[in-house]
Structure 1
Amino acid sequence: MAYDEDLAHRIRELLSGEQGVEEKAMFGGLAFLVDGHMAVAVSGTGGLMVRVALDEYPKLLSRRFVEPMMMADREMRGWVLITADGVRTTRQLRPWVIRGVDFARSLPPKQRGYASRRGRRST
């Protein structure tokens, strides 16, 4: 299943005034990175993936439309999946996007070129 293009467009609109935002195709969906950190992503299987603080994670799972994010049958703590029914309106979507962006901005800056150096040995 391809990701929801309408949901991606709605997220773009919400992030239009934010600095340091980029999009990357990942895991069959579309991720929105803030200063190099994933904040939210349109899931290729439906819904919205949101990066959250670990201390908020258990409480968020008790909310309507919120599920644990699973990848390869493994629970990805620190990420929640909001079902499509939970992000149908801007009023539903906005707080989740803000939560993901705020969390991404709270992380230390990414080192430039890290991905290109992984696995390489210095000589």
Structure 2
Amino acid sequence: MVDPLADQIRTFIGEIRMFGGTCFTLNGNMMVGTMKDGGLLVRVGEDQEAAALALPGATRMNFTGREMKGFIMVAPGELGDDAIKGWIAMASRFVGPMAPKKPTRK
């Protein structure tokens, strides 16, 4: 499957496959992920959420009718290289201090 947004993000950070999609992590903790519509899911945490929601194309994550605090969805039209770098930086500020996740045994 060709995923232009995932290809764009790969130039900045590594990736893993999770839940049938492409998820980008830092020390095993989810940072950002691609959406089927070409948008971006970003984990910013509650402390950065207000600043994130003020950025172009940003809304709180809502997959099932229930909003999730600390997770932001960004519209596809707002994802140029500089914007993606900014979102990754914001996600890194939240996820970076987290303890590394231990690999799960299968």
TM-score norm. by structure 2 comes to: 0.84
| Structure 1: gaps (5+ residues) | 16-20, 117-123
Does 2:74 correspond to 1:101?
no
Q: What SS is found at the alignment partner of 1:106?
A: coil
Offset at 1:45?
3.2
Greater RCO structure (CA 8 Å; 6+ sep): 2
Kindly report structure 1 stretches of 4+ aligned residues shifted beyond 4 Å. none
| Structure 2: gaps (5+ residues) | none
Matches within 5 A, 1:1-123: 5-15=3-13, 21-26=14-19, 29-87=21-79, 89-113=80-104
Offset from partner CA, 1:14-48 (integer Å, 9 cap, x none):
12xxxxx431143x531111111001001123300
Give the greater-gyration-radius structure (CA): 1
CA contact (8 A) 1:40 1:101 kept: no
TM-score norm. by structure 1 comes to: 0.74
Identity %: 26
Equivalent pairs, count? 106
Q: What SS is found at the alignment partner of 2:61?
A: strand
Distance between the aligned counterparts of 1:14 and 1:8, measured in 2? 10
